[in-house]
Chain A
Amino acid sequence: MSGMTYKTQKMVILLSFLFLPVGLLGLFTYYPAVKMIYLSFSNWDGYSETVSWIGGENYKEIFKNPELFGVFLHHIPYVLIGIIQNIFAILFAVILNSKLRGRNLFRVLLFLPFIMNAVAVAFMFQYVFDTSNGSLNALLSFIGIDHVSWLGNESIVNFSLASIGFWKFMGYNMVIYLGALQAIPGDMYEASKIDGANRFQTLWHLTIPNLTKIIQLNMFLTVTGALAIFDLPFVLTKGGPAGASETFLLKTVETAFQFNNFGLASAMSIVLLVLTGLILSLQHVVINKKEG
């Protein structure tokens, strides 16, 4: 290689170093996405040689069939609890950003759930939520609350599942907010003190505004994450009882791998991607409006 000019070397490096990563990106992300758009207009069953075109039928089916579209209602608890989770994450980040004994210990402890194996966490909470032997009901019986069926009651199940997410991700978000807080220069706090601002004024006029960008990013991740919920109901409830904890992605996977309707499943995947894109652009519009 050393015999070439740097210009030639640069060409060789760019081509050879980027060929594989970009190739893999195309092969496993963009080619599937494009092919899904094509398949979403077909009724392909996943193994036939021929793919027959059926126009927009799959999309009509998604928006007309309440069994498919109605599933989005099950995502609302995840969004709500996700928002509450962010509020708690900010609260604890602010607490741990102040002078406090045992700061690092609490940071390590609150972040701990994030690194635990997701499936093991799911089963751990299956035990917490168990109706007859579960620790949550045992705890509640001390204060005289009768046994609740946390995973078996149609109106509660999604809140129970979403609260597992709360338990697992609150500390992770807290650490992210904490990183943003520590990037705020200390002399701004000094100035705020000199101006005679009390603790809550400082929080409201200095800390929160400095977190705006990261709050927006986390809100985006919270909402899109809530749309793409899959693991917890898949492991714990299989969408039950009576389909009450079905999520859109769970339905998509069933449609493809149980009912071999890859055309409809592709259309569902595209709908989810478009929704994610919409939320992203909506956020951009909102942010630009504020700054413009």
Chain B
Amino acid sequence: MKKFDVVHYCKYILLLLAAFTVLFPPYVVLVNAFKGKNESTNPFSLPQSFLNFDNFVQVFQRASMGTAFTNTLVIIAVSLLGNVILGTMTAYALGRFDFRGKKLIMLAFLGATIVPTITTQVVVFSMIKSFGLFNTLGAPIVLFIGADVIQIYIYLQFISNIPYELDESAMMDGASLFRIYRTMIFPLLGPATATLVILKTINIYNEMYIPYLYMPKKDLVVVSTSIMRFAGVNQAEWGYICAAILIIMIPTVLMYLVLQKFIFSGVTSGAVKS
């Protein structure tokens, strides 16, 4: 029998308060997304039915959500492919070899982390235009591949845990360096790739300003810009806006609940190291 412990109870009270704070806004969104035009405007009251999907159908059509999800998926897929290939290549070159100027390159990648993306758009904007990428899916893809360096850190950290003896014994057998990268290092970096894919997917899915700036064209809408355009036209139509919020939030929330282990290990390993 444990003695009554005040601190122990305080912990639970604090945790429950925190849980309430986290869940309060989504709860309101959830109950109001199912309300029709003539239902109660009290934000806490339950809808007449949780099977009333009218708002969702309306929003999905009027905010071109189908197009938005397709575009977002294309951008995520192509950007990730580029990030995985270039990230593993960079990590192999920087993590396995010593050469003059290596420190400088490392420093250059590190320096890029403190530059807020939006500040450089003043110049990048005219570059994207002159490359002919303005109002194409290529603009965000090129920027997500070229201007982000998080993958370099995740891979570099991971590759340092792969014993160099593996490379050495492969060289004893006469394997070429490219072969070592392709058949050994790349597959062994698999867990890091998984973490990267999840974190980057969430990042790109959440990115608003780059698509907003470079793809004003109507059929190049992405998830983040679709709700902005829709809410701009449907001010204070809370039933619709809540439905839009839910449609957008559910995919990443589901992904998170299924893959949380990878996310936590990625977040902690990325942060504690720096």
Contacts from A to B (Cβ < 8 Å): 1-2, 4, 6, 9-10, 12-14, 17-18, 20-22, 24-33, 35-36, 39, 46-47, 91-92, 95, 98, 100, 102, 106-113, 115-120, 123-128, 130, 133-135, 138, 167, 171-172, 175-176, 178-180, 183, 199, 214, 217, 224, 228, 230-231, 234-235, 249, 252-253, 256-257, 262, 265-266, 269, 272-273, 276-277, 280
Contact = CB atoms under 8 A, between A and B. Distances in A.
A179 B271 contact: yes
B44 interface: yes
B150 interface: no
A14 B90 CA distance: 9
A2 B252 contact: no
B228 A272 contact: no
B248 A167 contact: no
6 contacts: A13-B97, A100-B11, A112-B253, A119-B227, A123-B245, A280-B114
Chain B residues touching A, majority SS: helix
Contacts of A265: 122
Contact of A224 (B108, B114, B149): B114
Contact of A231 (B41, B174, B181, B208): B208
A24 B146 contact: yes
Contacts, number: 255
Interface residues of B, number: 95
A252 B119 contact: yes
A272 B118 CA distance: 11
Contacts of A17: 89-90, 92-93, 181
B204 to A, nearest CB: 11
B90 A180 contact: no
A124 B262 CA distance: 27
For the complex of A and B, list the 3 residue pairs with the smallest distance between their C-beta atoms, beginning with the closest. Answer: A179-B268, A24-B146, A32-B123
B22 A167 contact: yes
A253 B118 contact: yes
Contacts of A119: 206, 208, 224-225, 227-228, 248
Contacts of B50: none
Nearest to B256: A115
Interface in B248-264: 248-249, 252-253, 255-257, 260, 263-264
Nearest to B31: A135
B25 A167 contact: yes
Interface string B173-209: 0111111010000000000000000000010011011
